[in-house]
Amino acid sequence: MTPEIQRRRDEAEYHRRSVFERLVALHPDAVTASGHQHTEELMENGVELILNARLADFAARRTITSQAFVRVGRVDDRFTYAPLVIKNHEVTEVSSSRQLLEGSLERLDAERRRGA
């Protein structure tokens, strides 16, 4: 690995860690999931912010891990969540078929923006 690649990895890890620590400080009611089953239970109970969220579809041999899940609404009797992925870079292209949620670390209840 080149020194430049290592520098970029270190910077990305530092960014993820510092944003995660700020998120925890801003939301003391956030719950850290201990595994797949615990994440599902937290989602069923409507926890607003689930840290280290993990879900699994064992039949299809798929899993998802996200720094956090943010509750964004409710459909019938189920709460809905959006993954929160912490990155130090991202490119977003305009698309009429895409809908992005925009929020902040302080205010996680995102507002919908069309085509952004």
Rounded to an integer, what distance in angstroms lies between the CA atom of residue 99 and that of residue 79? 19
Number of domains in the chain: 1
Q: According to the model, what pLDDT value does residue 84 have?
A: 84
Q: According to the model, what pLDDT value does residue 18 have?
A: 92
- Phi and psi torsions of 9, nearest 5°: -65, -45
Q: Which long-range contacts (CB under 8 A, 24 or more apart) does 65-73 make?
A: 67/16, 67/20, 68/23, 68/30, 69/39, 69/43, 70/103, 70/108, 70/110, 71/46, 71/47, 72/101, 72/109, 72/110
pTM comes to: 0.77
Q: According to the model, what pLDDT value does residue 114 have?
A: 40
Parent domain of 79: 3-114
Q: According to the model, what pLDDT value does residue 25 have?
A: 94
Low-confidence ranges of the chain (pLDDT < 70): 90-94, 98-103, 109-116
Q: According to the model, what pLDDT value does residue 85 have?
A: 80
